[in-house]
Structure 1
C-alpha cells in the first residue's frame, strides 16, 4: 500500500526525539475549560478557520475540488464546506476528550496526515498555515479569555496534532504505511 504522489523532491525529516505525548493537568484543564466556548457553534468556528486559511494562502483553496469555483465569500453556506469544517472540529474534540490518553488519537492523526499527503498539491508548510489561522480564530472567539497561558496550552495541542499529521504525511512519502490504516478504527472516531 503506497501513496501515489508527485512529491519525490520533498525532504522528509526524521521524527524528533522529543515526543509531545503527555499533557499536564494544567494544560488539560485549560483546554477543556475553553473548548466549550470554541465548540458551541462548531460549524461556524470551523468555517471561520478555513475561510481564514483560504485568505492567508489561496493555493490551499484550490485543493478543495468539491467546492468548485464557488466564491470564497459564499462558502460558509455550502453544505460540503460546512461538513468539512465540522469534521475538522471533531478531530479537535476527539483530542480534547482523550488528553489523558492521547495515544488513542495518535493513529487517527497519523492517518489524517497520510490523507493530506495523498492530496495532489498539498505541501507540508500548509500545516503551519493551519496552526497560525487556528490560533487567530481562537483568539477572536475567546477574546479577553485568550490570555498567554491559554494561548500556550493551545499551541502545545496544535503542535501535538501537527506533529502526528506530519509523521503520517512523511510516512506516506516514504511508503511506510503498512500499519497506519489498520491501526485506525475510523468508526470509533467518525470524522472521516
Structure 2
C-alpha cells in the first residue's frame, strides 16, 4: 500500500502576505543567512560534516570563504526561498522535494546521513531566520511570522524526508531481490556446474 500523501499546511491569504513580507525584509541578506544556518548546523551536529568532505574548516568553524561551503549553503537556501515563492501553489514543489529526498536515500543507506538531521536543519533554519527578522521587526511580529515559517519549513522537511524514506525502501527491496536471485536454485545449479567442469569438488568452494 502506498503511503498517504503529506498535505501542506493551508495558509490564509493574510498569512501568505505575512510570510512574503517577512522574506522581503531579509532577502537581500539571504546568502549571509544561508551561511549562518549551515555554520549552526555543523556546530550543533558535527557528525554532519562527513556529508561534505570537500568543505574546509578553520578550527571548529567552516571556512565561509570556501566556495564549496557557500555553494552548499545557497542550495539549501534555494529550497527555503522556493517554498515562500510558491505559497499559492505549494504542491508544485512536491516532485522537486521528493527527488531531493531520494538523493539522500543512498547517503542514509551508506550510513552517512541520519534522519534526525532534518530536525537539526529545521531548528537551525528557524533560529537564524528569527535572528534576521528581529533586526527588522518587533518581538510580537517576529513571534507571529516565525510560527508561520515553522509550519512552512516543517512541511518542506516532511516532503524531503518522505522522498528519502521511499528511496531507502526501494533500495532495500532491490537488495532483497538481488539476494533472492543470488541464492536461487538455478544460480546454485549454475555454480555447481561450473565447479564440476573445472574439476573442483563443489563442497570445497562453499
Asked if TM exceeds 0.5, the reply is yes
- The match for 1:84 is 72
* Change beyond 3 A, Cα 1:21–1:154: closer
Distance in 2 between the 1:134 and 1:68 partners? 22
Bigger-Rg structure (1/2):
2
TM-score norm. by structure 1 comes to: 0.76
Query: May I ask how many residue pairs the two structures share in their alignment?
Result: 163
Pairing of 1:58-97 with structure 2 (within 5 A): 58-67=46-55, 71-97=59-85
User: Contact between 1:95 and 1:105, CA under 8 Å: does it hold in 2?
Assistant: yes
Partner of 2:124 in structure 1? 133
Tell me the SS of whatever aligns to 1:66.
Answer: coil
Secondary structure of 1:77's aligned partner: coil
TM-aligned CA deviation for residue 117 of structure 1: 2.1
Does residue 166 (structure 1) correspond to residue 183 (structure 2)? The answer is no
Distance 1:159 1:173, change over 3 A: same
Deviations 1:67-125 (A, max 9, x none): 15654435211011101111111111211111101111111111111112222411111
Asked if 2 retains the 8 angstrom alpha-carbon contact of 1:21 and 1:103, the reply is no
The answer to whether 1:47 aligns with 2:42 is no
Q: If each structure's helix is expressed as a fraction of its own residues, which one has the higher value?
A: 2
1:31 to 19, 29, 32: 19
TM-score in terms of structure 2 length: 0.72
State whether residues 39 and 45 of structure 1, in contact with CA within 8 Å, keep that contact through their aligned partners in structure 2. no
Structure 1 segments (4+ residues) deviating >6 Å: none
8 A contact 2:98–2:162 mirrored in 1: yes
Q: How does 1:17-28 map to 2 (within 5 A)?
A: 19-20=7-8, 22-28=10-16
Q: 2:133 aligns with which of 142, 160, 166?
A: 142
RMSD value, Cα: 2.1
Unaligned residue ranges in structure 2 (runs of 5+): 172-206
